[in-house]
Amino acid sequence: MGRLPSLLLFLLPVLLLPLTSAEIKTLKITSDTRPMILFERFGFTHTGQATIAVSSVSVVSSVGATDPSRLGFFLLSEESLIQVLLELQTNPSFCVLDSKYVNLLFTFRDLSPPPDSSFNHSYPITAPNEYSLFFANCAPQSTVSMDVRTELYNFDGREKDFLSAGLTQLPTLFFCFFVIYFAFFAFWIYICVKSIRSVHRIHMLMGVLLIMKALNLLCAAEDKHYVKITGTPHGWDVLFYIFQFIRVVLLFTVIVLIGTGWSFLKPVLQEREKKVLMIVIPLQVLANVASIVIGETGPFIKDWVTWNQVFLLVDIICCCAVIFPIVWSIRSLRETSKTDGKAARNLAKLTLFRQFYIVVIGYLYFTRIVVFALRTIAAYKYQWVSNAAEEIANLAFYVVMFYMFRPVDKNGYFVLDEDEEAAELALRDEEFEL
């Protein structure tokens, strides 16, 4: 009874698994009982090739000798996945290695005789497509231990390209955005120097956020470049994760601090606003740990799905948490406007906060939902489009946020409207209710 649900559990996530960088991976499987192990997903061109090497293979069964032809590696396209699922539903005892819809690479019958128990072979891809590399264990009540080395790549002329067909443009894409953000940072420094009297602590923090984003993109470009040409990141992945961690924590912190009006409207944070930061920052630490585990391991680890769920849950909580300080500020300003007699100033502040609220909601919606939809529906050769859309959305958000809260002598926080009566009428409007 448990075998069919287990197979479905390992097959269905393939539909949502993003394309991987397919860098050369070496891993160790120890006493694994899973009927299916997903290694990675890769977009092949007509010059694609898969090299699989296994060694130190050991199969232990509690019901006697196992048939080596019941264990093996295969490639499965997304189109064929549905057919395989239908076969499994029709016959729960069906072995996926017998399916006519899979591209069988080899079974353990092809291994060298003990004690070597090894195999190493390259397979040209005859039909360009997006494939998932699986290991299947159809031997009942058996555990498998082995060392596995995988290389999935396309040939670009005579050179190997270890990036999927839809991701090979990423090094250039990330480097272009690095140049843009570095220029943005230089321009931000110019603006701050020009309006030095209006510079607050939040502006300096925003500048740090910009340079961290630029460095994050530079490391991402170098990481993908070295994976593309050599199959390994040469340490750039470590720098990428460091700057990504700093950048993400800074981004959420800046959004929260701007939402509270810190250093603009008030020098210190209230207790509830401190609690939001105390929640968001540790959650971002956890989210980044999950991101590193997901990025540096792969779906072949047993807890891969769990780490994905943790990352998604934490990200949703953080996105919701950063909205609260903005809402509190809007409500606080509405209450203050009824008693302090400064309707025009409060109207300007409310307008700015309301616009910022809408911008943040739009940014979070686009980068979490629209980008995911693009990644899901785009053809495998155009997966880079979702990365480009995400970076464009990030840049647009940074530009709007930095423009709204730039250091100028008269910004939206302090503009005075001489028509106090009109401002008071506007403040009574329910338009500002959220």
- Domain-ending residue, one of 161, 180, 209: 161
Domain membership of residue 292 as a residue range = 170-432
Do 151 and 185 reside in the same domain of the chain? no
Per-chain mean pLDDT for the chain: 82
Do 244 and 131 reside in the same domain of the chain? no
pLDDT band at 287 (very low <50, low <70, confident <90, very high): confident
pLDDT of 344-386, one tens digit each?
555 667 777 788 888 988 998 898 888 888 988 888 899 999 9
Do 204 and 96 reside in the same domain of the chain? no
Q: Which of 326, 331, 334 is nearest to 353 (CA)?
A: 326
Average pLDDT over residues 74-83: 89
Average pLDDT over residues 66-79: 90
Average pLDDT over residues 60-85: 88
The encoded tokens of residue 239 equal: 């720098």
Cis bond upstream, residue 115 (ω within 30): yes
Phi-psi group of 51: left, alpha or beta (phi > 0 → left; psi -120 to 50 → alpha; rest → beta): beta
Phi-psi group of 141: left, alpha or beta (phi > 0 → left; psi -120 to 50 → alpha; rest → beta): left
- pLDDT at residue 434 is higher than 90: no
Do 145 and 234 reside in the same domain of the chain? no
CATH code at 340? 1.20.1070
Average pLDDT over residues 145-166: 92
Do 119 and 137 reside in the same domain of the chain? yes
CA distances to 34, 108, 110, 146, 154 from 119, in Å: 21, 9, 7, 11, 22
Do 125 and 272 reside in the same domain of the chain? no
- Domain-ending residue, one of 116, 144, 161: 161
pLDDT of 21-67, one tens digit each?
557 888 899 998 888 888 888 999 999 999 999 998 989 888 878 88
pLDDT (0 to 100) of residue 384: 93
pLDDT band at 418 (very low <50, low <70, confident <90, very high): very low
**pTM surpassing 0.75?**
yes
pLDDT (0 to 100) of residue 89: 82
- pLDDT at residue 411 is higher than 80: no
pLDDT (0 to 100) of residue 413: 45
Average pLDDT over residues 302-307: 75
CA distances to 54, 125, 164, 169, 338 from 245, in Å: 35, 38, 25, 24, 42
How many domains does one find in the chain?
2
Do 236 and 383 reside in the same domain of the chain? yes
- Segment (H or E) for 83: helix 78-90
Do 72 and 99 reside in the same domain of the chain? yes
Do 295 and 180 reside in the same domain of the chain? yes
Q: In whole angstroms, what is the distance from residue 412 CA to residue 360 CA?
A: 17
Q: In whole angstroms, what is the distance from residue 293 CA to residue 75 CA?
A: 24
- Domain-ending residue, one of 110, 144, 161: 161
Do 98 and 181 reside in the same domain of the chain? no
Do 192 and 212 reside in the same domain of the chain? yes
Q: In whole angstroms, what is the distance from residue 154 CA to residue 148 CA?
A: 20
Average pLDDT over residues 386-400: 95
Do 202 and 307 reside in the same domain of the chain? yes
